[in-house]
Structure 1
Amino acid sequence: LGCHYRVALPGAQVGLPEVKIGLVPGAGGTQRLPRVVGLELGLNMIVSGNPVLSEKLAETKLFDRVFDAGADLVAASVEFANSIADVRPLPKVRDLKIDYPNAEAFLQFSRNTVKAMAGPFPAPLECVECVAAAVTKKIEDGLAFERERFFALAQTSESQALRHAFFAERAASKVPDVPSDTPTRTIERAAVIGAGTMGGGIAMNFANAGIPVTILETKQEALDKGLATIRKNYENTVKKGKLAPEKAQQRIGLITGTLAYDDIGQADIVVEAVFEDMEVKGQVFRKLDEVMKPGAILASNTSTLDLNRIADFTSRPQDVIGLHFFSPANVMKLLEIVRGAKTGKDVLATALALSKKIRKTGVVSGVCDGFIGNRMVEQYLRQAFFLLEEGALPEQVDKAIEKFGFAMGPFRMSDLAGNDIGWYIRKRRYAESPELVYSPIPDRLCEAGRFGQKTGAGWYDYQAGDRKPYPSALVNDMITGYSQEAGIERRTISDEEILQRLVFALTNEGARILEEGIALRASDIDMVYLTGYGFPLHRG
């Protein structure tokens, strides 16, 4: 923007992304961009931080030439430079005026809109103020104002948190003993075992990336239901205007179903997404070992089970890896990549590359019960259940943690995921780790058949067709009744205590995971919670 002339090829992405790390564009970006593309477009680009294709800006003063597709950029640029070499005086963006009718009214409207959407982040509103300075001040004064706001924002905890996340996401793809030039395996065809909610979501990830995928089920009814759900998901995305109808049909066309293992044998990768039970996993992986071609990657979507045991069900443990997707798998950004003791380096490198191709944030974890995310969330939930025993109720706990910035409190989260999942894991824990102490309250909830939204009742009550949680008098009575039965004198628990006990439970377990080498670095643990568990981004 400080150049006298600017040229581009079609397809070049142009943007000022600084707002995404909690800053305003520096070096005059907020002052110059509105002068060349206009107030409205310039403000939108600066506040959103999203790139725009060069051809869409060809009619603005940003570019003096957008060359034809396929042109030699250097040769065309030199030719253009020669054509204007003698032009004097040289054009300067700073000399352009921003002409917009009733600019102040537009800016005030923008302030109101951005303030409502920015949440806890100060940078978007500061972007509006900087652009307003471009309209109302001389260029020197506008540049000085922008510089002052830039350095002020750089000191905020929100910007520091966003910058931490920016670098953490890039660090997550780096594994010390797997260099960037490690050969990867070709992934041109995929398969998924299981057409349930998770299996269907995983299949959609492959289709969205243009990779044909076959879903294997044991019964036609389950397969038909799974494929119908996938189609409905795509149709809903089209209705929301987020996907063109022809694109949706193209992706649906990449997903096929089968009841026969022989039909998936030539896939380059297969992801198992069956019930979370070691015996069931063993049956599946023994069969995969028989039918999958040599060199195929055998992946498990297990969320807690020992991947090394799963790998040992096969004669090729070097090809086995954990790919733990988070529900809904077609939406959630996190992909925990679990590296087994015998997982090949090329398999790990391929999984990391695949995570980028399917637009996930891949985080590598070692093998332990629950890996990174679920191992930490178990301690978080244990504390939440103890709080119930001592005097809190589900609604208070959820409100306290959501006020801090979590997307969802522990009890709303459990109702969404299904309380029976945690119940199944606790039953395994009672046998394997009898020294761990758990509150019996969640077990009593499950014994009453209150599994969450899917049964219309969990920690909260739900009404048909309505996902809104309503506090349950029955559950609250059960909680207070247990406290009385256990001889626990209930007390008033502050929101601050709730917040500290839940967040410190995560922090302490995260420290143990790091100490044991399950996570490669502290920032990897942060990425798991930012992208998979709704930890508030602005908190760092």
Structure 2
Amino acid sequence: EVAPDALDRGLGIVRRNYEATASRGRITPADVEKRMALIQGTTDWTAIADADIVIEAVFEEMPIKKEVFAKLDAIAKPDAVLATNTSTLDVNEIASATRRPESVIGTHFFSPANVMRLLENVRGARSSKTTVATAMAVGRRIGKVPVLVGVCYGFVGNRMLHQRGLQAEKLILEGALPHQVDKVLTDFGFPMGPFAMGDLAGLDVGWRIRKGRGVKSPVADRICELGRFGQKTGAGYFRYDKGDRTPIPDPDVEKIITEVAAEQSIVRRHIGDEEIRERLLYPMVNEGAKILEEKIAIRASDIDVIWVYGYGWPVYRGGPMFWADAIGLRALRDRMLALKKQTGDAFWTPAPLLDRLADAGKGFLGG
């Protein structure tokens, strides 16, 4: 860590997480002490000089990432693997800050990392086979489900999630409300919807990323400008009673939504659950098709593993690509074309792979 107080705070959170696990009987109090004894905190960069693998987890800002990797490159031993926990940034650009890009790889742990099992390992253009194999082996050894993906904005999971997020924001401007949108996805089988998930992760994370990319999200930005970052501040898209994580619909947020809609001359209307479901999930499948065609993911089942283990996709629905096969790619493609005609929005253009498979009567997973 950069400062002793931040280090103490971080170690305190680790201890509390272990103690919470012990209170549920999953480990013993002795296990808590044993595990804490294995963790050494430091603010001294030279402490990593003998490490076999170093995983960076600083803010999602490229200049900071590159500064850290330049320092790691100067201190770490020659055969050390240098990994970044970035969730969206270009691993190749991060690697360019070092003299050993072959040793750099993305290891995207999912939040909360002590609970979520998915590990998106992001191979850079110059990541060596040894580096890739090491990241995959370490992932398995620490009980994660590692999936190998390529470099693009958001990799696989967040790139698909971004498409869902675009529609979620449009839906609330056009007439739906956050709790309605979320309920459609919890009814589908997700543990939470996009707005409650944003509150859990921290709305300031996305805000910081958007500002870095020069992108705006009118409703989310306005909520963040009020200091409402989600559960950690007691309010985000929803409000939260102290000590309770139950999202409570907030009239103040509804007011922000209606104001932004009016500013954009959007006439709000009733939106049914089926339209919400299609507009949230179909773009994800379409983006998955692009990801496969671009070889960012090796196979459709890898995309499904990412969504089941990292984003709470209901297991019994098999993942987005399996689900799309089950409902029929032709029906999905045709509905997208209908939405494109209805809205005039190129967003609904089917991916070439989706188009070809639909025409051939095939699926992403064969057959």
Which TM-score band applies after superposition, normalised by the shorter structure?
Answer: 0.7 to 0.9
Which residue does 1:223 correspond to in 2? 7
Q: Note if 1:304 corresponds to 2:88.
A: yes
User: Percent sequence identity over matched residues?
Assistant: 56
Q: Secondary structure at the match of 1:538?
A: helix
Q: Deviations over 1:41-66 (max 9, x none)?
A: xxxxxxxxxxxxxxxxxxxxxxxxxx
Which residue does 2:256 correspond to in 1? 478
Q: Is the 2:73–2:100 Cα contact (8 Å) retained in structure 1?
A: yes
**Deviation of 1:376 (Å):** 0.9
Q: Note if 1:529 corresponds to 2:315.
A: no
Q: Which moved more, 1:376-385 or 1:247-256?
A: 247-256
Which residue does 1:492 correspond to in 2? 270
Coordinate RMSD, CA, aligned: 1.2
Q: Is the 1:389–1:439 Cα contact (8 Å) retained in structure 2?
A: no
Which residue does 1:196 correspond to in 2? none
Q: Among 390, 394, 407, which residue is 2:178 paired with?
A: 394
TM (norm. structure 2) is 0.85
Distance in 1, matches of 2:283 and 2:167, equals 7
Which residue does 1:349 correspond to in 2? 133
Q: Against the structure 1 CA distance between its residues 291 and 439, is the aligned structure 2 distance closer, same or farther, given a 3 Å change threshold?
A: closer
Read off the aligned partner of 1:484 and give its amino acid letter: A
Q: Secondary structure at the match of 2:267?
A: coil
**Deviation of 1:485 (Å):** 2.7
Distance in 2, matches of 1:317 and 1:485, equals 47
Q: Among 334, 338, 347, which residue is 2:122 paired with?
A: 338
Aligned positions of 1:400-411 closer than 5 A = 400-411=184-195
Which residue does 2:284 correspond to in 1? 506
Q: Aligned residues, how many? A: 318
Q: Among 349, 366, 381, which residue is 2:165 paired with?
A: 381
Aligned positions of 1:240-251 closer than 5 A = 240-251=24-35
Read off the aligned partner of 2:279 and give its amino acid letter: R
Q: Is the 2:61–2:209 Cα contact (8 Å) retained in structure 1?
A: no
Which residue does 2:97 correspond to in 1? 313
**Deviation of 1:247 (Å):** 2.0
Aligned positions of 1:17-56 closer than 5 A = none
Read off the aligned partner of 1:523 and give its amino acid letter: S
Q: Is the 1:386–1:439 Cα contact (8 Å) retained in structure 2?
A: no
TM (norm. structure 1) is 0.58
Q: Is the 2:167–2:279 Cα contact (8 Å) retained in structure 1?
A: yes
**Deviation of 1:430 (Å):** 3.2
Distance in 2, matches of 1:445 and 1:529, equals 27
Which residue does 1:294 correspond to in 2? 78
**Deviation of 1:480 (Å):** 1.7
**Deviation of 1:439 (Å):** 4.9
Q: Among 56, 70, 73, which residue is 1:272 paired with?
A: 56
**Deviation of 1:355 (Å):** 1.2
Read off the aligned partner of 1:447 and give its amino acid letter: E
Q: Secondary structure at the match of 1:509?
A: helix
Q: Is the 1:318–1:342 Cα contact (8 Å) retained in structure 2?
A: yes
Distance in 2, matches of 1:277 and 1:220, equals 22
**Deviation of 1:359 (Å):** 0.8
Q: Which moved more, 1:233-242 or 1:481-490?
A: 481-490
**Deviation of 1:426 (Å):** 2.3
- Unaligned runs of 5+ residues in structure 2 are 319-367
Q: Secondary structure at the match of 1:398?
A: helix
**Deviation of 1:241 (Å):** 0.5
Distance in 2, matches of 1:307 and 1:486, equals 36
Aligned positions of 1:250-261 closer than 5 A = 250-261=34-45
Distance in 2, matches of 1:343 and 1:486, equals 45
